[in-house]
Structure 1
Amino acid sequence: MLPAQFRMTRSVDFGTTVSRGVRAAQSTLVVHDLRIHDDVSTSPKIGLVVSKSVGNAVVRHRVSRRLRHVARDVIPDLEPGEQLVIRALPRSASAPSAQLGTELKNALRKARR
């Protein structure tokens, strides 16, 4: 589970991160990373986007749970004030959690280059 202090909840934050952040794609997910250097007082925020293209409600909730679990592992790598949006692609429905975790770390590394 992703702790509450690290959850992105405002739609404005989602929109800003997706439009202004650096995009990095993998086969199962897309990461939008926005580093806000002047806002070091807040904790990093992570948001998830799992659309209907991924599957029905049961599949989307399963993918969301797995993404929240693997996102928890990258929290120590994030800087204060950093915002991260993880958008699941349809292939994420059949991908194992280990693959989701590896691709999330690779996408984050790629976005930071």
Structure 2
Amino acid sequence: MLAAAQRLRRSTDFAVAIRGGRRASRGVLVVHLDPTGPSAPDLSAETTTTPEPASGAGAGHEPPPVRAGFVVSKAVGGAVIRNKVRRRLRHLVRERLDGWGLPPGTTLVVRALPGAADAPYARLGVDLDAAVAAARSPRKPSRRSR
């Protein structure tokens, strides 16, 4: 299970990551990665009420955590299948979150496509790693600018 501070819960957080982030699709997953996602709500409330020291040392604030959310629609299957896919994805993300080296405050949304219901656990992991790597890689210049 992901820690409470690492979970996306509000639809606005999902919308910001999906609209403003980078998207990559691999296999049965689509990943939306927003490295400039909003910080944790409790940290932003503290910074508006208390001024920070100028030196930054001794501030006592940890950087906002990387947060993740999951979208598994009814197209994937019934409630039991959707929850099974969501549990698998949550476990895969929890295992890999530190290994990806995402910057603090990054928002990650993992969307399962209908094929995820029948995909083995190992394939979900491979697709997830490939999609996150593709979303993190710099964009290639387009050919249309001639």
TM-score band w.r.t. shorter chain: over 0.9
Tell me by how many angstroms 1:5 deviates.
1.8
Amino acid at match of 1:4: A
Q: Is the 8 A contact 2:37 2:107 kept in 1?
A: no
**Whose radius of gyration is greater, 1 or 2?**
2
Tell me by how many angstroms 1:3 deviates.
2.0
TM-score for the superposition, normalised by structure 2:
0.73
Secondary structure of 1:54's counterpart equals: coil
Amino acid at match of 1:28: V
Q: Is 1:51–2:82 an aligned residue pair?
A: no
The separation in 1 between residues aligned to 2:76 and 2:38, in whole angstroms, is: 36
Counterpart in the other structure of 1:4? 4
Unaligned runs of 5+ in 2: 40-61, 138-146
Counterpart in the other structure of 2:53? none
1:13-32 CA-partner distances (Å, limit 9, x unpaired): 10000011100001211000
Q: Is the 8 A contact 2:17 2:37 kept in 1?
A: no
Q: Is 1:60–2:60 an aligned residue pair?
A: no
Counterpart in the other structure of 1:79? 103
The separation in 1 between residues aligned to 2:74 and 2:109, in whole angstroms, is: 17
Counterpart in the other structure of 2:130? 106
After TM superposition, list the pairs within 5 Å mapping 1:22-37 onto structure 2: 22-36=22-36
Unaligned runs of 5+ in 1: none
Q: Percent identity?
A: 45
Tell me by how many angstroms 1:48 deviates.
0.1
